[in-house]
Structure 1
Amino acid sequence: MSVNPVQHLWLTSGWWTDSGVTGISRDQLVEKWVAAATKPKPEKKVFLYEMRAWSGELGRREWIKNLFDARVATLAAVETKVPFDEPESWDEVSRLFGSYVDPLARASGEFRDVAHSRRPEGLPQRLASVVREMARKVPPIARGAMIVSQDGGVIDSQLSADQFIADPSARHEILTVVAMRGYIALLRDYVAALGGSGQELPEGITAEIIDAFESRIALLISEYGQPPPPPRELAAEEEAQVDRLLDETLKDNPDLLADHNANLVGEAWSRARKTLQGMVARGEDVTHAGILFTKLASVRQDYNRAEWRIVSREQSYEERVGLDIGKGGTDDRGSFGSHLSERRVELTQILAVARKALEDVPMEPCWERDFAIEALADGGARFESGDFASIRQFVLSAWRDDAPKNARSKTREQAAAAVEFILHSAVQSVAAREDLGDHAY
């Protein structure tokens, strides 16, 4: 598939406008781009997903910030449906799409068709959707291999990205092997979930269906090699060693706790633990837990959600690392392991109540607190669904060159962390209440 950029779009200023409305969000721009992009192109669902994913990856790269500017990188990186009326910046985001995001999305997206063309044969129609969804999981596998490679990731630098886009065939063979081994693993896991040959099969699944899958798996293995083995169960001492590495990393880096909400660090700890356990299960030598820093960065991005969800945990973060953080009071950061039953509550109500609670906190006025209160105005309408990752970018932009007169922070980065902490603390304290009805607003 061609990975040539669709120049006719990004060379036309304001191509996305509708009836003179110039405000748009990143995700809306992606949708319009995919609809207007030249054919041949990946399946719509896959193309949308890959465009969003590559936009996010590129928006976080320093060389993109230098090539375009920080605001363009932020607009490209933040997954949101909140429109911003910044036509000049969106023109530049469109140029980023045309130069890099679109060709990379086509390059990874094409592996959906590569995998689907090698699907098991002779399956009943009722399994068509199952097989289609398996093929749709292959492009992210290819994308991961493009981003992280022993030969260097394709977006490590502007030079590496330009070289790949100019000649994607140079890596196509190795990417095909990685993608198809991933597809084999998906087929293998599906058969294992059904029980496999010789086992009692679920209703509607026949021995012929199992044979069709296993025959295809054997054929693909003969062409592309064995996929990574499924992870094994870890021994208790192996799990304990992973936990020790994570705990040591936290204790050796106290700034992680000082600069971040405990819930964020706790979630990063949990994700890092899962990744490290997987590495151990695959036989890799795990000697440190530096991945915790990467997971913390990804957790920050994941606070862009349509609803605020409170999830029960099995073990408190404080118990895990032997720390006593913010027990009670208005500075309560919450607990990584609060035994709360999962529930959903109306986000607008939470944000409105959180704003009222924050206004009532007995603390000296400061720029950071005032900014957080303003962010929660009108039920947080300015920021879709408590998108604290994007709020951080707004703080950085609002700080300007000189510090505000009543700011407590010395730098814009400290101010962004402070505002984010204030917001998380306020929202967490409200969301943890058993009955929001007792706190009318």
Structure 2
Amino acid sequence: MPPYDRPSWVVPLWWVTDPDQHAISGCRLIERWCAEMTPPKPLKKALEPELAGWSGRLGATPWVQRQYGPRPAELARGSGFRRIPLDEPVDWYQVSLLYADYADPLARFSAQFAAAVAPLCPEGLPNDGWVRPLKNRVPPSVRAVMAGPVVGPVGGVIDSAEAADQFRADPAAQYEHYINLARRSYLSVLLDRLDKLRDADSPDELVMQVLTDTIARHAADYGDPEQPLRKPTDDERKRVHEMLVAKIEEQPEIQHNPYFTEAYERATRTLLRWVVEGRETIDAGIIRNALKWSRLDAQRKEGRMAAHAEVLTDLRAAAPDIDHGIDVRTQLARAHAALLAYVEDGVSVSTESWEKSLASRLLTDGNSLALVAFPTLADLVTTAWHEAVPAGGRAPVGAAERDATAAACYVHALLCTAVLLVSPTGGAATKRLARIRRDIERNLDAHRRDNAERQ
């Protein structure tokens, strides 16, 4: 593995496709960068989240802020506005230089471990379409260790410009230190999925046995995976509640914040995770950060819903394209049947995702519920999500996404897919719906990158 070549195409305004439009968002810059990267390069689903993650990590380091400037570092971090186009070409060029110098080689290195663990994929499953994408959860774990404190031969790669330069000069020297860590991380992902399957209403015994055998076989060579976090006890829940109440009593104005309820739930989940992880110091003051994230999430959600306001009408408008001789209820019933048969990318057929199950229910019972629900689909999914989260859990059993915001986007995309599956090609509304689905999926990918940055 020779040192990665520094991109030669990085010049001022390299990202511009329209001479009259220089503005670009952080997300779009990352997409354009990954498209321009010279092969060989990791697959897009692993590469883009890693470039976003390293961008955020690097932007937060003091040496990057000194070397490239405070504003470029802020743009690299994202700081809650990564999807907003900004006409700041000088600063975006500095971000590009940061990418060329450090983020590009770091992302190439960590993203490659998605493919590196592919040979460990379980074999003998009745359907393995859901398990293959699990390898993409490995690079963020590798990145976290690389950017974390020095522990023996790993970590500390961006502690200073010198450390980053040393890594960049000889990435091959680092590979052996991280490959077994990546393999154990993959086994941990499988173990986490196995733990979720055990909690399912109708667990698939064959799938669980294949996962169990796969983990045991590879653990003998690469070491035991980390065990999933245990569920918090009642006493721990009480302790966290009392800590938050005490903090709120110190700062009663928090309760009047419009995002208080969501922030309280977010802070509770975080503190419980810290307690279960055994952290010595936990501070209920994180509710302040939780308020910030809740506000930013709400703003992103409002932006997505505004952008998709027409979608909610188009989803119904596309139905007449299906068959002009059949009423809408029958047409959507066909969409329901098509959705039931649809194989999700990344989810087992025997344990279809929580999101697909919800989308299917929305298309049943004469579809009247779906037609009423579409104008407030995000609210409906969010409510259903919180009701379905088990005690001590962070997501409903079988959820494909990590939070309610992403789940709402995914349910929306599934509903669009269902209608498109039974639509003839060529209809104007159908073409529009296909474009809308692509927009939804882009937003969902962006939200997943946001989650990757926070890891």
TM-score by length of 1: 0.59
Moved more, 58-67 or 146-155: 146-155
**Counterpart amino acid of residue 90 in structure 1:** W
Provide the aligned C-alpha RMSD in A. 3.8
Partner of 1:8: 8
Which letter does structure 2 place at the counterpart of 1:271? Answer: R
- Of 87, 90, 97, the residue aligned with 1:88 is 90
Match of 1:115 among 114, 117, 125: 117
Task: Letter of the 2:188 partner, please give it.
Answer: A
Aligned equivalent of 1:307, options 295, 304, 313: 304
User: Per-residue deviation at 1:173?
Assistant: 4.2
1:219 and 2:217 matched: yes
Alignment of 1:40-439 (within 5 A): 40-78=40-78, 79-124=81-126, 126-128=127-129, 130-151=130-151, 153-169=156-172, 171-195=174-198, 207=206, 209-248=207-246, 254=251, 262-263=257-258, 267-282=262-277, 284-289=278-283, 292=286, 302=297, 303-305=299-301, 306-307=303-304
Deviation at 1:43, TM superposition (A): 0.5
Deviation string 1:123-168 (CA, Å, 9 cap, x unpaired) is 45x323x122211111111122223235464333333333333344
Task: Give the secondary-structure state (helix, strand or coil) at the position aligned to 1:7.
Answer: coil
- Asked if 2 retains the 8 angstrom alpha-carbon contact of 1:5 and 1:98, the reply is no
Q: Which residue of 2 aligns with 1:319?
A: none
Rounded to whole Å, the distance in 1 between the matches of 2:83 and 2:279 is 42
Give 1 or 2: higher helix fraction: 2
**In structure 2, what residue type is equivalent to 1:59?**
G
AA aligned to 1:143 is R
Counterpart of 2:450 in structure 1 is none
Q: Structure 1 residue 55: deviation in Å?
A: 1.7
Identity of aligned residues (%): 32
- C-alpha deviation, 1:233, in angstroms: 2.9
State whether residues 2 and 40 of structure 1, in contact with CA within 8 Å, keep that contact through their aligned partners in structure 2.
no
Partner of 1:358: none
- Work out the number of aligned pairs and report it: 307
Task: Measure, in 2, the Cα distance between the counterparts of 1:58 and 1:172.
Answer: 21
* Maintained 8 Å contact 2:3/2:170: no
Preserved CA contact (<8 Å) 2:42 2:112: yes
Q: TM-score, normalised by structure 2?
A: 0.57
Match of 1:117, SS state, is: helix
- Distance change (3 Å), C-alpha of 1:146 and 1:233: same
CA distance change for structure 1 residues 167 and 265 in 2, over 3 Å: closer, same or farther?
farther
- Greater relative CO, 1 or 2 (CA 8 Å, sep 6+): 2
What amino acid is aligned across from residue 17 of structure 2 in structure 1? D
Work out the CA distance in 2 between the residues paired with 1:3 and 1:273: 44
Render the CA deviation track for 1:223-276: whole Å, top value 9, x for unaligned.
232222222233222212223344455666x5x968x98355665553343233
Select between 232-241 and 298-307 the one with higher mean Cα deviation.
Answer: 298-307
Q: CA deviation at 1:113?
A: 0.8
Per the TM alignment, residue 40 of structure 1 is displaced from its structure 2 partner at its CA by 1.5
Q: Is the 8 A contact 1:3 1:102 kept in 2?
A: no
Asked if the contact 1:2/1:106 (under 8 Å) is kept, the reply is no
**Residues 179 and 269 of structure 1, relative CA distance in 2, 3 Å threshold:** farther
1:177: Cα distance to partner? Answer: 3.8
- Secondary structure of the equivalent of 2:128? helix
2:25–2:86 contact (8 Å) kept in structure 1: yes
Mark the runs of 5 or more structure 1 residues left unpaired by the alignment: 315-341, 345-383, 385-441
Alignment of 1:11-22 (within 5 A): 12-20=11-19, 21-22=21-22
Structure 2 counterpart of 1:165, which letter?
R
Alignment gaps of 5+ in structure 2? 306-377, 387-406, 410-442, 444-455
- Taking a change above 3 Å as real, the CA distance of residues 233 and 76 of structure 1, as seen in their structure-2 partners, is closer
